[in-house]
Amino acid sequence: SNRCFDWYKIVNDNRGETIQIKDRYGNMFHCREGAEPLTQKYQQPIVKSSETDKYGDVVATKYGMEIESECRGIDYIEFNCRIRTAQKIATFYESVFDATTTVIEDQDQTVALIGLGDISPDGKASQYMIFRETPGGLPTYDGHHIALYVGDTKEDFEVAFRNADMAGIVWVNPRFADRVTTLEAAKSLNQFRFRNILDIKTGEQIFQLEHEIRSVQHPSWPG
């Protein structure tokens, strides 16, 4: 099969209609209609209404588009982390990237919320990374990664690199050609990578997730 997902189902609850999609790698997506209209429309290139053979009649016909749509992207991405690490993860992002973070209790679990993008006057971020403490063993890290754009200027990006370098976390993924280990290389390519999230107090690795940290001058910057 050439499908990009394993299965999907449509759920209606008190939040409205949600499409739950599990991809072939085990990731779960919860797709919902945004609460507020957007002033700018974005091209959604994944599902076209004519691709019923690829996505099935329901998804392609009801949700597929041949024109621009209000495709909002990802509101949040959630990771399971070990017990007693959520606060340390929040402290890491605060210390290295000056991120806005909150640690809460949700369903008897400690959860770190890492705010990304714009922060509204009431403290809500436009996107979040969520780390939820989960008892039991976690799957071995398989190399998945995310890309984040930092700050509003190239100077903000340079500060982020210096902080990451001071923390000793700047890392080169041998799979890719961007082998950044210095500020000059980071400025040249407008990006750098790191993988280890640390306990700032002890230097212990507490989580692994490859981050591709990009400047707003990166050619893929969507702003």
Structure tokens at 215: 């400047």
202: three-class secondary structure by DSSP: coil
Number of neighbouring beta carbons within 10 Å of residue 125? 20
- Residue 39 pLDDT exceeds 60: no
* pLDDT at residue 99 in the model: 93
pTM of the prediction? 0.76
Give CA–CA dist 15/200, Å, rounded. Answer: 38
CA distances from 66 to 48, 138, 202 (A): 6, 40, 52
Gyration radius of the chain's alpha carbons: 19
Sheet holding 100-106, edge to edge: 76-81, 125-133, 109-119, 100-106
Q: Spell out the residues 6+ positions from residue 177 whose beta carbon is closer than 8 angstroms to its own.
A: none
pLDDT band (50, 70, 90) for residue 1: very low
**How many degrees, rounded to 5, is the angle at CA 46 between CA 41 and CA 52?**
120
What average pLDDT does the structure give for the chain?
85
Q: Which residues make beta-bridge pairs with 105?
A: 110
Burial 149-186 (b: 16+ CB within 10 A, else e): bbeeeeeebbebbeebbebebbeebeeeeeebeeeebb
* pLDDT at residue 44 in the model: 45
pLDDT band (50, 70, 90) for residue 57: confident
- Top pLDDT among 28 and 195 is at 195
Q: Spell out the residues 6+ positions from residue 155 whose beta carbon is closer than 8 angstroms to its own.
A: none
Average pLDDT estimate for 127-152: 91
pLDDT band (50, 70, 90) for residue 162: very high
Average pLDDT estimate for 152-163: 95
Give residue 42's identity as a one-letter amino acid code: Y
pLDDT band (50, 70, 90) for residue 76: confident
pLDDT band (50, 70, 90) for residue 67: low
Sheet holding 170-171, edge to edge: 145-149, 205-214, 191-198, 170-171
